[in-house]
């Protein structure tokens, strides 16, 4: 099985995100649990969650709880699975999302996440999004404290600009191991943050790699990808995930799954043994799309995400 380094961890080249299992339109609990188990049984060893993946105001941590329970059902065979969670965002129950990067809040949110995940420490704790009302350095200071207290093993930041990555690296040093930004295989974003991650030896966790819930099912979007792999039985979405891997050694896609079938498909993508010609075609397509994207791109704030 192919692996990638993520700070102190070695994980599968493709992870999975569990968000859709707990937000609006979520499936029944048992289907979600099956999807998580299928991902791990297929070889995936990285799962992304967050305390704010829930609907009602009274169900904070719904997704962390679900991930923890599904992994517990797998027993010791899930001990090697790296679980990443996030703090710094809240959902009051009316469908909206709000950032909250106050240091005291982050500390209490992390402690609650640790209790829900039921582990000795949180593998990777990520600031969900910088809070414009709080100095970025203050939010990062809270993460550093949590790390120094042994509550988290490694740190990440999400929804950040290249400038924020640079500042975070200066403050957190080697404790910072990951940056999680939106990056769809179909649209391509600005490359600055990925390039910076490569230079700083940080893992770029590509969220929304299939464009989100609706876009992921638009087969027309993925035909171009599939066309680079006609001789294989891969779906366009699998080829798209593989193309993200080929864009940069720093990228680790975290597709969201709610069904065992898609979980297994993602796991298979992460362990593909690609023939050289296939790799070259993927690379050529990735390069041409990257050039097109750079021509129209400018450095921009990644914007407020949903999730």
**Which residues are known catalytic residues?**
53
| Position 18 contacts ligand NAP (CB under 6 A) | yes
| Position 36 contacts ligand NAP (CB under 6 A) | no
Nearer to ligand NAP by Cβ, of 195 and 268: the residue is 268
Query: Helix crossing, 162-172 with 192-200: angle to 10°?
Result: 20
Alpha carbons 305 and 307: distance in angstroms, whole number: 6
| Position 12 contacts ligand NAP (CB under 6 A) | no
Nearer to ligand NAP by Cβ, of 153 and 182: the residue is 182
Cβ distance 270 to 238 under 8 Å?
A: no
Reduced to 3 states (helix: H, G, I; strand: E, B; else coil), residue 38 is helix
| Position 17 contacts ligand NAP (CB under 6 A) | yes
Exposure string over 67-93, b if 16+ CB within 10 A, otherwise e? bbebbeeeeeebeebbbbbbbbbbbee
Nearer to ligand NAP by Cβ, of 103 and 305: the residue is 305
Question: From the CB of 237, what's the least distance to ligand NAP, in Å?
Answer: 3
Alpha carbons 185 and 240: distance in angstroms, whole number: 6
Alpha carbons 40 and 30: distance in angstroms, whole number: 15
Nearer to ligand NAP by Cβ, of 26 and 169: the residue is 26
Among 142, 211, 242, 247, binds ligand NAP (CB under 6 A): 211
Q: Return the beta strands (E) in the chain as ranges.
A: 3-6, 9-12, 16-17, 46-48, 82-87, 89-90, 98-99, 122-127, 152-158, 176-182, 203-207, 251-254
| Position 266 contacts ligand NAP (CB under 6 A) | yes
| Position 158 contacts ligand NAP (CB under 6 A) | yes
Among 12, 13, 20, 144, binds ligand NAP (CB under 6 A): 20
Going by C-alpha positions, the residue among 196, 281, 187, 195 that lies closest to residue 234 is: 281
Range in contact with ligand NAP (rule: CB under 6 A) among 37-45, 72-80, 162-170, 212-220: 212-220
| Position 189 contacts ligand NAP (CB under 6 A) | no
User: Contacts with ligand NAP: how many residues (CB under 6 A)?
Assistant: 31
Reduced to 3 states (helix: H, G, I; strand: E, B; else coil), residue 3 is strand
Question: From the CB of 129, what's the least distance to ligand NAP, in Å?
Answer: 6
| Position 262 contacts ligand NAP (CB under 6 A) | yes
Binding site for ligand NAP (CB under 6 A): 17-20, 48, 128, 158-159, 180, 207-213, 216, 235, 237-238, 254-259, 262, 265-266, 305, 307
């Amino acid at each position: 099985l192919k692996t990638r380094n993520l700070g102190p961890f070695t994980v599968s080249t493709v992870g999975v995100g569990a968000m859709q299992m707990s937000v609006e339109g979520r499936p029944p609990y048992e289907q979600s649990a099956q999807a998580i188990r299928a991902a791990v049984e297929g070889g995936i060893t990285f799962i992304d969650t967050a305390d704010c993946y829930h609907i009602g105001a009274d169900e904070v941590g719904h997704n962390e709880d679900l991930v923890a329970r599904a992994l517990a059902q797998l027993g010791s065979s899930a001990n090697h699975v790296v679980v990443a969670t996030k703090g710094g965002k809240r959902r009051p129950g009316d469908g909206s999302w709000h950032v909250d990067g106050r240091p005291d809040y982050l500390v209490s949110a992390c402690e609650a996440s640790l209790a829900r995940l039921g582990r000795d420490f949180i593998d990777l704790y990520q600031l969900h999004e910088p809070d414009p009302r709080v100095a970025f350095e203050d939010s990062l200071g809270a993460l550093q404290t949590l790390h120094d207290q042994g509550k988290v093993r490694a740190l990440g930041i999400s929804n950040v600009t290249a400038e924020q990555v640079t500042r975070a690296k200066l403050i957190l040093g080697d404790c910072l191991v990951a940056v999680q930004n939106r990056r769809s295989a179909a649209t391509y974003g600005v490359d600055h943050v990925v390039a910076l991650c490569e230079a700083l030896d940080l893992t770029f966790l590509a969220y929304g790699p299939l464009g989100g819930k609706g876009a992921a099912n638009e087969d027309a979007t993925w035909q171009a990808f599939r066309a680079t792999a006609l001789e294989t039985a891969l779906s366009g979405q699998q080829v798209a995930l593989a193309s993200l891997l080929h864009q940069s050694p720093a990228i680790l896609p975290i597709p969201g799954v709610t069904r065992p079938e898609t979980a297994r498909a993602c796991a298979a993508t992460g362990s593909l043994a690609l023939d050289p010609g296939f790799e070259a075609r993927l690379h050529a397509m990735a390069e041409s799309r990257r050039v097109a994207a750079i021509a129209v791109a400018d450095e921009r704030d990644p914007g407020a995400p949903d999730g």
